[in-house]
């Protein structure tokens, strides 16, 4: 596979120097900016990542999957080259197709991240929907999400080992729940990246509908599915709201109707069009991103979502959670400032896969 991105096969808008902050959900972006600014974080991550051998995983897929290139799955090869070119990722990630009936795809690794697509997902989607999925995974690589996913896996494994210690388990479980919430928001981020790579929002919506209802797209309707999302959001009384919260426990991906509605809103409300017109943050400015500002943006995004929802349960959480998020912004600002002073005024470089 070629190492450098090349010109895409058909004309799409390219985004030179685009920062992942352009498409990241505010809650995802706030966590990423904060953690990238903490001195010594890279060292901690590398110790954690030793629990999950990237080299071993690459050898596993090299031995028992099909590596995409000019001669194997040529269309997918073109999609991953195009996505890397459009999102200005310097190195085209390797992509493997593996025999597995469960529709899924993932980006793995930190030093040389690569993408794996199950045959169950490949067979489910048409060409433009596949392009959306490949762009979604390239978005994970550009954002460096593998760093924090590794933390989630490590902490989840540790929580299971200390489950017999009540206080230890409760503390770890709280951290795992927070990471799971971030993980779900990172999926919303990369749905946006998938649309930026393919520049066909309807293909993204179709892919999400198929993940919910299978291949019979002719039997489904986008407006009806969006109405289904609205019905889920309104959610009856407070008991339903609590049940929805409980149903999310242990899940790393948002429900399909939530992803569909979020992607529809993002493309309709102007952010997508602004990026297409060249109005997006650049990677060269990432070091200047303010932690407190990003955390406040995250708090505002939750408030806006809560103001949009008709779920009565959310009203009982709104003020408490918003105040906590603002307090977190001030805390991260203080910690980052102290870390920079300790490092002679030098902030940490962002830890991002593939860049």
Active site residues: 137
Question: Residue 351 in contact with residue 144, Cβ under 8 Å?
Answer: yes
Q: How far apart are CA 252 and CA 264, in angstroms?
A: 21
Cβ-count burial 186-217 (b if 16+ within 10 Å, e if not): bbbbbbbbbbbbbbbbebbbbbbbbbeeeeeb
From the list 37, 41, 187, the residue with the least C-alpha distance to 107 is 187
Q: Which residues contact 132 (CB under 8 A, 6 or more apart)?
A: 125, 194, 195, 197, 198, 200, 203, 204, 207
CA 319 to chain CA mean position, Å = 26
Spatial CA neighbour of 27 closest among 331, 306, 300, 350: 300
Interatomic CA distance for residues 31 and 258, integer angstroms = 21
Q: What is the DSSP letter of 164?
A: T
Return the C-alpha torsion angle 120, 194, 348, 283, nearest 10: 150
Question: What does the alpha-carbon distance between residue 334 and residue 331 come to, in Å, rounded to a whole number?
Answer: 5
Q: At what angle do helices 291-308 and 318-342 cross, to 10 degrees?
A: 170
First to last CA, the chain: 18
Burial of residue 147, with CB atoms counted within 10 A of its CB: 0-12 exposed, 13-18 middle, 19 or more buried: buried
């Amino acid at each position: 596979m070629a190492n450098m991105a090349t010109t895409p096969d058909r004309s799409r808008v390219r985004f030179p120097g685009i920062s992942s902050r352009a498409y990241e959900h505010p809650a995802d972006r706030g966590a990423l900016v904060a953690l990238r600014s903490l001195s010594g974080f890279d060292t901690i991550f590398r110790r954690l990542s030793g629990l999950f051998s990237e080299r071993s995983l690459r050898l596993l897929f090299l031995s028992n999957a099909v590596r995409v290139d000019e001669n194997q799955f040529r269309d997918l090869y073109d999609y991953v080259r195009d996505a890397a070119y459009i999102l200005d990722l310097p190195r085209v990630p390797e992509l493997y197709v593996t025999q597995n009936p469960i529709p899924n795809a993932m980006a793995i690794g930190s030093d040389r991240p690569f993408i794996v697509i199950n045959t169950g997902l490949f067979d489910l989607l048409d060409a433009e929907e596949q392009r959306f999925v490949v762009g979604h995974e390239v978005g994970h690589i550009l954002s460096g999400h593998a760093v924090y996913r590794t933390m989630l896996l490590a902490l989840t494994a540790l929580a299971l080992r200390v489950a017999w210690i009540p206080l230890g388990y409760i503390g770890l479980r709280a951290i795992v729940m927070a990471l799971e919430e971030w993980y779900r928001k990172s999926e919303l981020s990369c749905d946006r990246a998938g649309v930026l790579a393919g520049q066909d929002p309807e293909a993204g919506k179709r892919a999400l509908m198929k993940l919910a209802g299978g291949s019979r797209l002719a039997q489904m309707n986008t407006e009806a599915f969006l109405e289904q999302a609205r019905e889920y959001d309104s959610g009856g009384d407070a008991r339903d709201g609590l049940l929805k919260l409980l149903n999310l426990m242990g899940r790393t991906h948002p429900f399909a109707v939530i992803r569909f509605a979020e992607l529809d809103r993002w493309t309709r409300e102007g952010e997508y069009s602004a990026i297409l017109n060249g109005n997006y943050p650049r990677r060269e400015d990432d070091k200047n991103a303010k932690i407190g500002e990003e955390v406040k943006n995250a708090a505002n995004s939750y408030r806006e979502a809560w103001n949009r929802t008709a779920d009565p349960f959310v009203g009982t959480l709104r003020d408490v959670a918003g105040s906590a998020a603002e307090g977190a912004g001030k805390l991260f600002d203080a910690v980052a400032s102290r870390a920079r002073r300790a490092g002679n005024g030098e902030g940490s470089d962002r830890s991002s896969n593939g860049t």
